[in-house]
Structure 1
Amino acid sequence: MGEFAEALLARVREARAGVAAAVEAGDAYAASVAQSDLDDVVWLARRQGIDIEADEE
């Protein structure tokens, strides 16, 4: 896997963690911002043909 794909997968993991942390903290605004970031990076990864679901295992 190339560096670009690895970097995107790392961003997906970080964004997922950000969503989880914001939800756990009860911060609706931070959760919304984190979810937007996650949506963007997931879209980019899929557009590049990167399987983000394989990274979840």
Structure 2
Amino acid sequence: MARSPEVAVNEVAEALLARVRAARAGLAAAREAGDAYAVAVAEDELDDAVRLARRHGLDVDATGAGEE
């Protein structure tokens, strides 16, 4: 059974937004732990996640999955 392209697009969008949310949570945890290296890694992950989401036309700020 073939799925419609719209369903696949929605799944990709949700996955991208979930990645942004997870990256934000990881950054918050690293900051709370006071681990400078983990903060740097988490900031890079968040930057990548936000960039990729925006490249796919997602407004991460409006969805609550945006940057701090």
TM-score range, shorter chain: over 0.9
Q: 1:51 Cα deviation (Å)?
A: 0.9
Of the three residues 34, 40, 45, the one matched with 1:37 is 45
Unaligned runs of 5+ in 1: none
Percent identity (aligned): 65
Larger radius of gyration: 2
Q: Specify the alignment match of 1:23 in structure 2.
A: 31
Q: 1:53 Cα deviation (Å)?
A: 1.0
Unaligned runs of 5+ in 2: 1-8
* In 1: Cα distance, 2:14 partner to 2:48 partner: 16
The TM-score normalised by the length of structure 2 is 0.78
* In 2: Cα distance, 1:41 partner to 1:56 partner: 14
Q: 1:49 Cα deviation (Å)?
A: 0.5
Q: 1:11 Cα deviation (Å)?
A: 0.4
CA-atom RMSD in angstroms? 1.4
* In 2: Cα distance, 1:54 partner to 1:8 partner: 14
